[in-house]
């Protein structure tokens, strides 16, 4: 089969990131350092993973860019919005994720990444105090200003394509409102009416991105593109959307470890997860309304892997609790601690403890790279709407809840979906069952 249906990744790829904090500056610095051969992009599937294509005598294992046309690191041009005015170099130093010696070789390039004024509403992130903020008449004006930013960025940097990635803080929880979020017409009307309760700033970014021909990725648990109105917008503009929430630490462990319990037919009595972290994300999540958004996304993982209806003896009434605690001394080095109460033969109890001392931004940076490159690929392949094949990278995968679709949270099933999508876009057949 040939690859005629996917446009080649030619020219420059603009990567516009909302938020120029720990995750983003770690992502940018790593890409710039890798381009100079001074660091390795460890953890990025697009840079390292190999997929089997063909069977029998035709079987071979190829890297993603040998199967499909993927933008090269050299072709990426970064831009950002942030409520704080510091450039990417100053922010990278302030965030204290990377050592100065690992930032300085690309200091000149980072200093040129100066954040545009953010579209911001303090009610959605009360703990943030930045002043690099747009003056907007209403939500529609906010969206129009963001569209202009994207157009200017394209023009000034000579980029051919743009992907917009949300790597900013978690907003307060916005419950889905059928009167506002179910149709594009209602969403636009609410923006024009300046409905500050139902229209989060992140929705303005997503709408602006899609309106300007850019795929949008939601890296926080915000409701943003996880609403029928945005699915309609993605269909209208024929663009990919993906979300939500980067799957970095504890949920990665959960989506990989829960299948061990399920596959081995062991019972689950309870799963208690707690986190301590001290970066800006931790500060924002210390606000109960913001934590609620994160809690909804973190709690959804287990329920679709260990399903009570399928195994009532093993998974009825297990207790699942998630906690996040802001603890400044840790900064970006967060600790995810899981206590799992299981039971085995004749109902006898056992326990598992997992203590993951991870670096949030070090785990998130390769996800940013993969999500950006694969969203760009999806756009060139003419794939629009929710990109379920990117669920592998996301904590709370988007799905059509209006039709009672159940998201796939099982890490290894997600991996099969990812591999099959790459195969198909490369002109090979999808040849693994998800079961």
Per-residue tens of pLDDT for the chain, all 435 residues = 444 589 999 999 999 999 999 999 999 999 999 999 999 999 999 999 999 999 999 999 999 999 999 999 999 999 999 999 999 999 999 999 999 999 999 999 999 999 999 999 999 998 889 999 999 999 999 999 999 999 999 999 999 999 999 999 999 999 999 999 999 999 999 999 999 999 999 999 999 999 999 999 999 999 999 999 999 999 999 999 999 999 998 889 999 999 999 999 999 999 999 999 887 777 887 888 887 877 776 677 898 899 999 999 999 999 999 998 999 998 888 899 999 999 999 999 999 999 999 999 999 999 999 999 999 999 999 999 999 999 999 999 999 999 999 999 999 999 999 999 999 999 999 998 887
Region for 427 from its dihedrals, namely left if φ exceeds 0, alpha if ψ lies in -120 to 50, beta otherwise: left
16: three-class secondary structure by DSSP:
strand
Helix (H) or strand (E) holding 359: strand 349-359
Q: Torsion over CA of 360, 391, 49 and 434, rounded to 10 degrees?
A: 140
CATH of region 13-246+362-425? 3.40.50.720
**Rounded to whole angstroms, how far apart are CA atoms 421 and 26?**
28
CA neighbor of 218 nearest in space, from 39, 390, 7, 8: 390
Region for 21 from its dihedrals, namely left if φ exceeds 0, alpha if ψ lies in -120 to 50, beta otherwise: beta
Other beta carbons less than 10 A from residue 192's beta carbon: 14
Output the pLDDT for position 2. 45
Contacts of 289 by beta carbon, 8 Å cutoff, 6+ apart: 172, 173
Instruction: Enumerate the domain spans of the chain.
Output: 13-246+362-425, 250-359
**Rounded to whole angstroms, how far apart are CA atoms 27 and 16?**
12
Q: Structure tokens of 396?
A: 């709370």
**Rounded to whole angstroms, how far apart are CA atoms 109 and 34?**
13
Q: What is the pTM of this model?
A: 0.95
Other beta carbons less than 10 A from residue 40's beta carbon: 12
Report whether 147 contacts 212 (CB < 8 A). yes
177: three-class secondary structure by DSSP:
coil
Contacts of 285 by beta carbon, 8 Å cutoff, 6+ apart: 170, 291, 294, 324, 326
Q: Structure tokens of 212?
A: 């300007």
Report whether 58 contacts 132 (CB < 8 A). no
Q: Structure tokens of 284?
A: 């924002």
Handedness of CA 15, 16, 20, 21 (dihedral sign): negative
Q: Which parts of 140-255 are beta strand (E)?
A: 161-166, 216-218, 240-243
Superfamily for the 250-359 domain: Dihydrodipicolinate Reductase; domain 2 (3.30.360.10)
Output the pLDDT for position 110. 98
DSSP track, 290-304: HHHHHHHHHHHHHHT
Which neighbouring-strand residues pair with 272? 321, 339
Q: Count of H helices and E strands in the chain? A: 16, 13
């Amino acid at each position: 089969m040939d690859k005629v249906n996917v446009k080649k990744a030619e020219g420059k790829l603009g990567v516009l990131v909302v938020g120029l904090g720990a995750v983003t500056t770690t992502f940018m610095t790593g890409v710039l350092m890798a381009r100079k051969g001074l660091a390795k992009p460890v953890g990025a599937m697009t840079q390292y993973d190999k997929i089997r294509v063909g069977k029998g005598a035709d079987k071979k294992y190829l890297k993603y860019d040998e199967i499909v046309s993927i933008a090269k690191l050299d072709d990426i041009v970064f831009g950002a919005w942030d409520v704080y005015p510091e450039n990417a170099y100053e922010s990278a130093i302030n965030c204290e994720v990377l050592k100065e010696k690992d930032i300085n070789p690309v200091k000149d390039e980072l200093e040129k990444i100066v954040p545009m004024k953010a579209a911001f509403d303090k009610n959605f992130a009360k703990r943030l105090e930045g002043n690099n903020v747009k003056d907007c008449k209403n939500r529609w004006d906010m969206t129009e200003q963001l569209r202009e930013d994207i157009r200017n960025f394209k023009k000034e940097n000579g980029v051919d394509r743009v992907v917009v990635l949300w790597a900013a803080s978690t907003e307060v929880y916005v419950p889905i409102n059928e009167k506002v979020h179910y149709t594009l017409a209602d969403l636009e009307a609410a923006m024009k009416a300046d409905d500050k309760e139902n229209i989060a700033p992140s929705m303005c970014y997503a709408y602006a991105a899609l309106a300007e021909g850019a795929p949008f990725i939601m890296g926080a648990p915000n409701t943003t593109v996880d609403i029928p109105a945005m699915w309609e917008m993605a269909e209208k503009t024929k663009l990919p959307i993906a979300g939500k929430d980067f799957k970095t630490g504890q949920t990665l462990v959960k989506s990989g470890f829960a299948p061990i319990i399920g596959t081995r037919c062991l019972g689950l009595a309870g799963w208690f997860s707690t986190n301590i972290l001290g970066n800006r994300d931790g500060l924002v999540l210390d606000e109960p309304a913001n934590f609620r958004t994160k809690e909804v996304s973190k709690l959804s993982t287990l329920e679709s892997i260990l399903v009570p209806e399928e195994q009532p003896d093993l998974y009825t009434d297990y207790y699942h609790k998630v906690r996040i605690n802001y603890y400044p001394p840790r900064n970006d080095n967060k600790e995810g601690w899981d206590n799992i109460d299981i039971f085995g033969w004749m109902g006898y109890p056992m326990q598992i403890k997992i203590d993951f001392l991870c670096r949030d931004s070090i785990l998130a940076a390769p996800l940013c790279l993969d999500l950006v490159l694969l969203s760009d690929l999806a756009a060139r392949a003419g794939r629009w709407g929710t990109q379920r094949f990117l669920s592998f990278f996301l904590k709370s995968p988007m799905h059509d809840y209006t039709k009672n679709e159940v998201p796939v949270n099982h890490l290894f099933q997600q991996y099969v979906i990812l591999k099959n999508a790459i195969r198909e876009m490369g002109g090979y057949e999808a040849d693994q069952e998800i079961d």
